[in-house]
Amino acid sequence: METIHLAQKSDFSATHIPLPSSKSESNRVLIIDALTEGENKLSNLAEARDTQTMISLLEKNPPVFDVLDAGTTMRFLTAYAAITNQNKVMTGTPRMCDRPIGILVDALRTIGAEIHYLGVEGYPPMAIHGLSEQKSEKVKIRGDVSSQYISALLMIAPLLPKGLELELEGKVGSRSYIEMTLDTMSHFGISYEWIDNKITVAHQAYQPTTFAVESDWSGAGYWFSLLACADSGELFLSGLKENSLQGDSAVVEIMGQLGVKSTFKDGGVLLEKQPVKGLKHWDFTHCPDLAQTIAVTCAILGQNATFTGLESLKIKETDRIYALQQELAKFNADLKEVEPEVYQVIPSVTMPAEVKIHTYEDHRMAMAFMPLITKTRVSIEDPSVVNKSYPSFWKHCELTGISIVSQS
Q: How far is the CB of 38 from ligand PEP (least distance, A)?
A: 28
By CB under 6 A, tell whether 92 contacts ligand S3P: no
138-142 and 164-169 strand pairing: parallel
By CB under 6 A, tell whether 389 contacts ligand PEP: yes
Residue from the set 147, 293, 318, 359 that interacts with ligand S3P by CB under 6 A: 147
∠ at Cα 92 (88, 97), nearest 5°? Answer: 105
The answer to whether the beta carbons of residues 374 and 9 sit under 8 Å apart is yes
Residue 369 site contact among ligand S3P, ligand PEP, none (CB < 5 to 8 Å, cut-off depends on kind):
none
The piece of 11-19, 140-148, 233-241, 337-345 that touches ligand S3P (CB under 6 A) is 140-148
Query: Which of these is catalytic: 33, 66, 248, 289?
Result: 289
* 289 carries an active-site annotation: yes
Q: How far is the CB of 24 from ligand PEP (least distance, A)?
A: 8
Radius of gyration of the chain (CA): 21
Looking at residues 281 to 320 of the shown chain, list those that interact with ligand S3P (rule: CB under 6 A).
288-289, 312
For the stretch 359-374, what's the b/e string if a residue is b when 16 or more beta carbons lie within 10 angstroms of its beta carbon?
bbbbbbbbbbbbbbbb
* Region of residue 187 (left: phi > 0; alpha: psi -120 to 50; beta: else): alpha
∠ at Cα 43 (41, 49), nearest 5°? Answer: 125
Residue 211 site contact among ligand PEP, ligand S3P, none (CB < 5 to 8 Å, cut-off depends on kind):
none
Q: How far is the CB of 13 from ligand PEP (least distance, A)?
A: 30
Assess whether the previous peptide bond of 391 is cis (omega < 30° from 0). Answer: no
Q: Which of 258, 324, 352, 333 is nearest to 297 (CA)?
A: 258
By CB under 6 A, tell whether 70 contacts ligand PEP: yes
By CB under 6 A, tell whether 72 contacts ligand PEP: yes
- Write the DSSP string, 296-324: HHHHHHT---EEE--GGGGGSSS-HHHHH
- Torsion from C-alpha of 171, 173, 179, 182, nearest 10 degrees: -80
Residue from the set 12, 177, 188, 390 that interacts with ligand S3P by CB under 6 A: 177
By CB under 6 A, tell whether 151 contacts ligand S3P: yes
Cα–Cα distance for residue pair 299/333, rounded to 1 Å: 6
Residue 70 site contact among ligand S3P, ligand PEP, none (CB < 5 to 8 Å, cut-off depends on kind):
ligand PEP
210-212 and 41-43 strand pairing: parallel
**Per-residue contact string for residues 156-175; x = within reach of ligand S3P by CB under 6 A:** -----------------xx-
Q: Report the amino acid identity of residue 348.
A: S
Sign, CA dihedral 195-200-201-203, equals negative
By CB under 6 A, tell whether 168 contacts ligand PEP: no
By CB under 6 A, tell whether 71 contacts ligand PEP: yes
Q: How far is the CB of 210 from ligand S3P (least distance, A)?
A: 21
Q: How far is the CB of 297 from ligand S3P (least distance, A)?
A: 19
Looking at residues 342 to 381 of the shown chain, list those that interact with ligand PEP (rule: CB under 6 A).
364
By CB under 6 A, tell whether 178 contacts ligand PEP: no
∠ at Cα 316 (310, 321), nearest 5°? Answer: 45
The piece of 28-36, 52-60, 65-73, 122-130 that touches ligand PEP (CB under 6 A) is 65-73
By CB under 6 A, tell whether 148 contacts ligand S3P: yes
Q: What are phi and psi of 192, to 5 degrees?
A: -150, 170
Distances from the Cα of 218 to the Cα of 21, 56, 292, 368, angstroms? 10, 24, 11, 10
**Per-residue contact string for residues 208-247; x = within reach of ligand PEP by CB under 6 A:** ----------------------------------------
Site residues (vs ligand PEP, CB under 6 A): 70-72, 289, 316-317, 364, 389
As annotated, the active-site residues are: 289
Site residues (vs ligand S3P, CB under 6 A): 24, 72, 146-148, 151, 173-174, 177, 288-289, 312
